[in-house]
Structure 1
Amino acid sequence: MSDSWQPRGGQPRRPVLFDHTHTASIPGGEDPGNYGEVAHMTANVIVTQAHADATPDIIDRLVRLVEREGIDTVAALWSTSPPNTLPGALWRLYLLREWVRDSPDLTTTHYRLGRDTAHVSHAIAGPIDPPTPTDIAALADTVLSGAFTGALDVALARASAFCQVVSVGASLGADSSDSSGRLDTGATSRQLTHIARRFHELFTDFQEASSLARAGLLD
């Protein structure tokens, strides 16, 4: 695992998600204030319209927004938004789904390692037990769609719980790496520690956003 993630077609994509030194460099226009207004406006319009007309077709199109528009387009809208805002929370939900879609086997390995230790979070996240890569990919879709079909705070709480389980699993994997410094997945202890830290950051980001959404303060 390196800091560059590869899509299934093999072409390089944006450096690994969760590395905010990269996402922070995406241009936001000449006036950051105007850019922030656009980010909030688009996020609110999307969520409001989805809640008003949550047909399966619309929800499916929203879940697959990155596939249709490209990660760079979504990043240009929301990537510089703080995690305690609606556009920032949506951006992180899309990034989480992209990570799972591009690394389902590795994510599942980490999740299965962490679910017994973080058993409460595992229950909140709600996958089939034990989950397969297909189950984990489906869960990522379900969590993201929940932001548009149900209570946003619940969707963010599930995302937070999922990230905590994966973070714990990656940490355990790093601690139990063999004498060569690698696991069966091919990841080194250092790389697993990096993954654990990034998922822990997402865990805390989603946790704060969920609390704000529950209080009606996520905007």
Structure 2
Amino acid sequence: MSEHRRHHRPAPRESAFFDEHAEGADPALLTEAAERAAVLLVRGARASEDAGVSDRLVHLADTEGIEAIAALWSHAAADSLAGCLWRLYLLRSGVYADPAGIARQFEAGRARAEFARVVAGVAEPPGPDELRTMVDEVLRGIAHGDFADVLLRAAAFARVVAAGRAALHEVADADVRRMLVLAEQLEAAGHLELSRGLA
């Protein structure tokens, strides 16, 4: 065998190369951790006897930590606990990002989705503060209420907002459809929770 064709051992890489890859997060483990967090938030919070759990849930939604978990929830199926929490997170984030705009859309949608308006449980008239309060109460319901009720109330709220967006023509049709799809997904998940429980 010629000298230049002889097998050579590969040159060792610097240890930094291995350190960099050893610290990389396994996507499957991240997904599993996000799903476990969702189960703990929903099932664990409801089983807790600590009266402050609901307030901590609302506070958690205001911190950066929940955003990191929520980003992992974004890939979860709509009929899973993680997927439902992602959709609730989106709804709350939208209300806090533009409370006046959402209040205007909710007001415009009330006549078009009367039943949903009642189910949503927003105080009259629905101003920005009332909407923020309602969304926070939905999150508190995760800790102390029936999770199916939480999902159905959120779905009703989203349905009224979608109707208002359609009436006002303030946003693109795609945004109206997205809100309507969100409402439908939350409603379907609420019925699944009632029938067999989400996982």
What's the TM-score bracket when you normalise by the shorter of the two chains? Answer: 0.7 to 0.9
Distance 2:36 2:143 in 1: 16
TM-score computed with the length of structure 2 as normaliser: 0.81
TM-score computed with the length of structure 1 as normaliser: 0.74
**CA deviation after TM superposition for structure 1 residue 56, in Å:** 4.0
Distance 2:156 2:163 in 1: 11
CA-atom RMSD, angstroms? 1.9
Distance 1:192 1:54 in 2: 45
Tell me what 1:181 maps to.
none
The question of whether the paired residues in 1 share the 8 Å contact of 2:46 and 2:142 is answered with no
Tell me what 1:117 maps to.
112
* Matches for 1:96-107 after TM superposition, within 5 Å: 96-107=91-102
The question of whether the paired residues in 1 share the 8 Å contact of 2:54 and 2:141 is answered with no
Distance 2:129 2:51 in 1: 20
Tell me what 2:13 maps to.
none
Q: Which of 99, 107, 132 is 2:127 aligned to?
A: 132
Tell me what 2:181 maps to.
201
Distance 1:31 1:49 in 2: 24
- Give the unaligned 5+ runs of structure 2: 1-24
After superposition, the C-alpha distances for 1:5-50 in whole angstroms (9 at most, x for unaligned) are xxxxxxxxxxxxxxxxxxxxxxxx5443x44432322211222221
- Give the unaligned 5+ runs of structure 1: 1-28, 175-186
Distance 2:62 2:197 in 1: 30
Residue 213 in structure 1 maps to residue 193 in structure 2: yes
Tell me what 1:69 maps to.
64
Number of positions where the alignment pairs a residue of Structure 1 with one of Structure 2: 176
Distance 1:116 1:54 in 2: 40
After superposition, the C-alpha distances for 1:170-195 in whole angstroms (9 at most, x for unaligned) are 00111xxxxxxxxxxxx4xxx34233
Q: Which of 25, 48, 51 is 1:53 aligned to?
A: 48
Higher helix fraction: Structure 1 or Structure 2?
2
Change (3 A) 1:79 1:54: farther
The question of whether the paired residues in 2 share the 8 Å contact of 1:86 and 1:218 is answered with yes
After superposition, the C-alpha distances for 1:59-92 in whole angstroms (9 at most, x for unaligned) are 1111221322345412343121111100110111
Distance 1:155 1:104 in 2: 20
Distance 2:125 2:137 in 1: 17
Percent identical among aligned pairs is 33
